[in-house]
Amino acid sequence: MSSLTLYPEEEKLQRGERAVFNLYMVSALVLFLLFMLLGLTMRMTQADWTDVSATLFYRIMTMHGAGMVGTMSLASTAVMWFFLRKYVHLHLWAFLTNYVLFLLGALCLLWSVFMGGFASAWTFLYPLPVRSMGLWSINTAALFMVGYLLIGVGLLIFYLDAAAAIIRRYGNLGRALGLRWLFGGDIDPEHPKAVVASTMVIIANSLGVLAGAVVLVMCLINAYDPQVALNALVVKNLIYWFGHMIINATIYASVIAVYELLPRYTRKPYGISRPFLWSWSLSCVFVIIVFPHHLLMDYAEPRWMLVMGQLVSYAAGFPVFLVTAYGVLTNIYRSNIRWKMPSMLAVLALFGWAAGIVPAIIDGTIRVNHVMHNTQWVPGHFHFYLLLGVLPMILTLLYHVSGGHRQAARNSGIDKGSLALYVIGGIAFCLAFLDAGRMSVPRRFAIHLPEWLPYDKAGSIAAILVILCMLTFAARVIGGLLKAPVAGDTGGASQHVDPPNMAG
């Protein structure tokens, strides 16, 4: 069970660990801001408020997508590492290697897009990367794919180290997931939720990353030897398997911060249970097999896969609504919670995740997909659970850790005011997308018709608000992270929280 101590001793970052963790998180915050600015540029171009050529627009779009997915993955890996290292022995070199390979991969992506002109969207659907109509070279496309491969290899190295550590401690991955308690037996109340969630992420995302690696190598071979022709549908399946997994893994890894930290602010135990174990085991299966819901408009796809895409989309909502979101609500209900930035962000995160998947699940219906696929409905729902779900999960940990040197999470009026504006801006930003989807406004269009501009303008204003708030969060958190522990401070030593209902 996770600790109720606000800053437990076993969570203390050693000097080397602190340096690597800060590298991850400071880089992630800076990159989030950079890629948000790219997103804003796209919205303002669509709103006809800035003059960006279609050529540049699609480069920006490619970088925004690839960059955001990569950065989410980077930051959520750091969240998972931060908590998992308390329960199993992780090697710092593996964590650092992932960071170095991410940076090298990111450099490849940046060079390929902004120097080589690559603009095939982050999904690099075959055969567009090798059919640029003269806008970029084969070498540029290959550099982009090598960038992805480097990022993927980094993740796999981290996962292999984490999997080995979990197996050393628990015997096998099934025991770490708690499979032995699904149908009976006394559940070990000390079995950490962080281990269950990390194991699920390792299993599912390793498969996704491997699928990505396979398809990237296939595309690289085809790029230099077109005689090795590829089946476009098989390639698309592998790409969406990879793409769906890597972005979903960020949610499942980041939610560990909520499991671990929220009980410390509610001062109420948040124990492990059979429904919890069922939900994570089922989520592991669902998240691996749900990817065909991205291919519902590929009529050549086998029918059973399309049906599976719809049904598993529905089923995947159960663990989120009934176990994770419901569990969080139960934990905070009449808990006399201390409303600090980490606890507020944690609750926001679960709201963002639970509310954001409503339009996502609805879009997983084939009949709905007929009219919503590739409209702005799609960025509407994924921005909802990324902007109001995953990012707040990551910020939950960062706000908590950044106050570690003084044993209290940062919690000023600036922070709270920014959070309120962030919620308003974030919801408005996503609703502008969703409402545009209702009006059949296509996604990934550089130029918009006059009747679509009001949605773009509303989205742009909301995006500016979100970015200003994010700038405040980043400045506050980075300031806290970089502050060295004060003399005599244990750098995160234990501070026991008063038992429930005895403190104000």
Comparing CB distances to other proteins, the nearer of 3 and 375 is 375
| Bond from prior residue into 127 cis (ω within 30 degrees of 0) | yes
Comparing CB distances to other proteins, the nearer of 357 and 395 is 357
What is the DSSP code (8-state) at residue 323? Answer: I
Q: Is-contact 168 89, C-beta < 8 A?
A: yes
Bridge partners (DSSP) of residue 442 are 375
Q: Provide, rounded to whole angstroms, the least separation between the CB of residue 386 and other proteins.
A: 16
Helices (H) and strands (E) in the chain, counts: 16, 0
Q: Is-contact 208 253, C-beta < 8 A?
A: no
Q: Provide, rounded to whole angstroms, the least separation between the CB of residue 139 and other proteins.
A: 18
Comparing CB distances to other proteins, the nearer of 486 and 502 is 502
Q: Quote the tokens at residue 93.
A: 């070199």
Q: Provide, rounded to whole angstroms, the least separation between the CB of residue 451 and other proteins.
A: 7
Q: Provide, rounded to whole angstroms, the least separation between the CB of residue 229 and other proteins.
A: 9
Q: Is-contact 197 255, C-beta < 8 A?
A: yes
Q: Measure the CA–CA gap between 120 and 130, rounded to whole angstroms.
A: 9
Q: Quote the tokens at residue 470.
A: 């994010």
Comparing CB distances to other proteins, the nearer of 92 and 308 is 308
Q: Provide, rounded to whole angstroms, the least separation between the CB of residue 322 and other proteins.
A: 6
Contacts of residue 419, defined as CB under 8 A and 6 or more positions apart, other chains included, come to: 341, 344, 345, 348, 469
Comparing CB distances to other proteins, the nearer of 48 and 435 is 435
Long-range contact pairs involving 496-500 (C-beta distance under 8 Å, separation at least 24)? 496/4, 496/5, 496/6, 497/4, 497/5, 497/6, 497/264, 497/267, 498/267, 499/267, 500/267, 500/268, 500/335, 500/336
Q: Provide, rounded to whole angstroms, the least separation between the CB of residue 434 and other proteins.
A: 7
Comparing CB distances to other proteins, the nearer of 55 and 412 is 55
Kindly report the number of other CB atoms within 10 A of residue 10's CB atom. 11
Comparing CB distances to other proteins, the nearer of 172 and 336 is 336
What is the CB-side half-sphere exposure of residue 424 using CA atoms within 13 A? 11
Q: Provide, rounded to whole angstroms, the least separation between the CB of residue 65 and other proteins.
A: 10
Q: Provide, rounded to whole angstroms, the least separation between the CB of residue 193 and other proteins.
A: 18
What is the CB-side half-sphere exposure of residue 116 using CA atoms within 13 A? 24
Comparing CB distances to other proteins, the nearer of 212 and 319 is 319
What is the CB-side half-sphere exposure of residue 293 using CA atoms within 13 A? 27
Phi (first) and psi of residue 375, to 5 degrees: -95, 180
Distances (CA, A) of 424 to 98, 329, 395: 35, 21, 17
Q: Measure the CA–CA gap between 491 and 481, rounded to whole angstroms.
A: 11
Q: Provide, rounded to whole angstroms, the least separation between the CB of residue 470 and other proteins.
A: 22
Q: Provide, rounded to whole angstroms, the least separation between the CB of residue 41 and other proteins.
A: 16
Kindly report the number of other CB atoms within 10 A of residue 128's CB atom. 14
With residue 423 as reference, give the H or E element that holds it.
helix 413-438
Comparing CB distances to other proteins, the nearer of 98 and 376 is 376
Comparing CB distances to other proteins, the nearer of 93 and 339 is 339
